[in-house]
Amino acid sequence: MTLDKSQQFAVQAISQVLGGRNLAQTLEQLAWQHPQLSPQQRAAAQDISYGVLRYYGRLNAILKQLITNRLDDETVRCLLLAGLYQLEYGKASAHAVVDHAVTAAASMKKPWAKGLVNAVLRNFLRRREAVLAGIEQDEQARYSYPQWWISKLKQQYPQQWENLLQAGNAHPPLTLRVNRRRMSADDYLHKLENAGFAARILGRESIMMAQPVAVEKLPGFAAGEVSVQDYGAQFAAHLLDVRDNMRVLDACCAPGGKTGHVLELADVAMTAIDSEEARLARTRDNLHRLGLSARLITGDAGKPEGWWDGQPFDRILADVPCSASGIVRRHVDIKWLRRETDIANFVAQQSRLLHALWRVLANGGKLLYVTCSIFIEENQRQIDAFLTRQADARQLALDEPGNGQLLPCADHDGFFYALLQKI
């Protein structure tokens, strides 16, 4: 594998994300544009991209210690960030990292870039201890989050904020959901062990792999025996309390993980909506793999007049758009793409969806409100505001998670659940 090719690929991705683009979509597009790269080179580029963005606050602070003058060239700046990430967190030798970074700089056809990259990275190796000491008091450098995010968690979780920041910087586990229509978690665990994979059962249908593995290598994946889904996300289908023959609506359903889980638990008449046809196609593909079916609609869940047939639903899963602050370990770009002002916009959107969906819920029916956020404004505070305005709504107690807020930890990401009943 040629490390400088991977660096070049990663630099393009990092630069585009810091310019406002989604990381997963950027990597997919770049892979399509560079078909000559081997799978190993693409994997290395992905590791560098995710790593730089996971630790961007720290790496950027280090770079500012090493370059006193303003560096206006974003491509060279991102190459330096990639090199610093590999020196701090990578497994390649320091000599190889510097050498390939210099080669990548030379390919940019900017005469000054090669010397600058060489000087900065070697300067870091010589002065590493002093440079790191110089950023120790910078919270954005220490935790690699924007300051507004750190301050918000300090205010909302005074006892847990530091653990939450650290959890968001951890590498996520690979967790599976066994299709209970096909087999039990115990049976699938034995199947994994027979195939040479180490794993453990978390609960119900959930299994955590000891090491990441490509999904195509999972026994029975193509046949629909198992899906990839975070353990925290697997609470949703059970909390919705579905039974056979119910009319169920999954609003904002893509990519269909929760849709499939509900259908695995009961024979229901499922309607699943998403606002984007391309995203809805992923739901269709997932259901097809699982051997399940639903009525799929492209539309705005907040405008029922465009898709509702007038028949109320017994259960509604409202997995609403949110800041995604509970899943940053899987989507490291979120930390740098979100702005503090975005929260109010999400809150307004969530409120609109809640009120619209309440109209199509049957009397006595239940609506499960879900976010993958840990910010209070999007969660219990949103529900409290809804209850003050909606006289026919009550919040039901949950056995798990106790207060509805599932905080990120080693076993799962962060989610919020609130079960509402129309009375």
Q: Which residues, 6+ apart, have CB-to-CB distance to 70 below 8 Å?
A: none
The pLDDT of residue 8 is 86
Per-residue pLDDT at 202 = 96
DSSP, residue by residue, 107-138: TTT-HHHHHHHHHHHHHHHHHHHHHHHHTTT-
pLDDT in tens, 146-186: 999 999 999 999 999 999 999 999 999 999 999 999 999 99
Element (H, E) at 395: strand 393-396
Q: pLDDT grade, residue 367 (50/70/90)?
A: very high
Return the number of other C-beta atoms located less than 10 Å from residue 331's C-beta: 19
Residues 86-112 pLDDT 10s: 999 999 999 999 999 999 999 888 989
The DSSP call for residue 305 is: G
Compare 2 and 169 and report the one with higher pLDDT: 169
pLDDT beyond 90 at 1: no
- Looking up tokens 């975005």 gives 342
pLDDT, position 206: 98
Does position 23 have pLDDT exceeding 80, yes or no?
A: yes
pLDDT tens for 294-344 read 999 999 999 999 999 999 999 999 999 999 999 999 999 999 999 999 999
Q: Which two tokens stand for residue 303?
A: 């405008």
Average pLDDT of the segment spanning 385-393: 98
Across the range 57-86, mean pLDDT stands at 95
pLDDT grade for 2, boundaries at 50, 70 and 90: very low
CB 384 within 8 A of CB 359: no
Residue-level pLDDT at 58? 98
Interstrand relation of 393-396 and 175-178 (parallel, antiparallel or unpaired): unpaired
Are 168 and 145 in contact by the 8 Å Cβ rule? The answer is yes
Q: Which of 78, 252, 372, 409 is catalytic?
A: 372
- Distance, in Å, from the CA atom of 179 to the CA atom of 35, rounded to the nearest integer, reads 35
pLDDT of the residue at 4:
64
Distances (CA, A) of 411 to 206, 379, 408: 11, 21, 8
Q: Is 372 among the catalytic positions? A: yes
Dig out the tokens for 102 from the structure.
């210099």
273: closest CA among 316, 331, 238? 316
Cα(106)–Cα(118) distance, integer angstroms: 10
pLDDT score at 68: 83
Residue 402: pLDDT above 80?
no
The domains located in the chain, with CATH, are 3-142 (1.10.940.10), 175-228 (3.30.70.1170), 233-422 (3.40.50.150)
Q: What is the pLDDT of residue 421?
A: 98
* Residue 401 pLDDT grade (very low, low, confident, very high; cuts 50, 70, 90): confident
Q: What is the pLDDT of residue 6?
A: 84
Helix (H) or strand (E) holding 226: strand 226-228
